[in-house]
Amino acid sequence: MAIWNITEKKDELLEFVGEHLHDPKSNKDNLHWLASRVLIKHIYANHKIEILKDEFNKPSLKVDGENYHISITHSFEFAAIIISKSKIVAIDMERFDERIQRVKHKFTRDDEFVYLDENDESKMLTTIWSAKETLYKFYGKKELDFKLHLKIEAFVFQSRYQLVGWIRKENFNQKFDIQVEDLNGYVLTFIC
DSSP string, 37-103: HHHHHHHTTTS-EEEEE-TT--EEEEETTEEEEEEEEEETTEEEEEEESSS--EEEEEE--GGGGGT
Using the 3D structure, point to which of 46, 68, 87 is the last residue of a domain.
87
| b/e burial code for range 165-178 (CB count within 10 A of at least 16 → b) | bebebeeeeeebeb
Same domain, 81 and 134: no
Q: What pLDDT score was predicted for residue 22?
A: 67
Could you give phi then psi for residue 82, rounded to 5 degrees? Answer: -140, 135
Q: What is the mean pLDDT of residues 180-189?
A: 96
Using the 3D structure, point to which of 66, 87, 108 is the last residue of a domain.
87
Q: What pLDDT score was predicted for residue 24?
A: 64
Same domain, 61 and 146: no
Could you give the CA distance from residue 129 to residue 124 in angstroms, rounded to a whole number? 9
Provide the phi-psi class of 53: left if phi over 0, else alpha when psi is between -120 and 50, else beta: beta
Q: How many separate domains does the chain show?
A: 2
28 vs 147, more confident: 147
pLDDT band at 51 (very low <50, low <70, confident <90, very high): very high
Could you give the CA distance from residue 138 to residue 158 in angstroms, rounded to a whole number? 23
pLDDT in tens, 24-50: 666 667 889 899 999 999 999 889 999
Same domain, 108 and 74: no
Same domain, 80 and 114: no
Whether residue 178 contacts residue 137, with contact meaning beta carbons closer than 8 Å, is answered with no
Q: Which domain holds residue 57?
A: 2-87
pLDDT in tens, 156-173: 988 899 999 999 999 899
Same domain, 106 and 132: yes
Same domain, 176 and 98: yes
Using the 3D structure, point to which of 60, 87, 114 is the last residue of a domain.
87
**Percent of the chain residues past pLDDT 70, beyond the cut:** 94
pLDDT in tens, 82-120: 999 999 999 999 999 999 999 999 999 999 999 999 999
Q: What pLDDT score was predicted for residue 134?
A: 98
Same domain, 111 and 30: no
Q: What pLDDT score was predicted for residue 30?
A: 85
Q: What pLDDT score was predicted for residue 25?
A: 64
pLDDT band at 6 (very low <50, low <70, confident <90, very high): very high
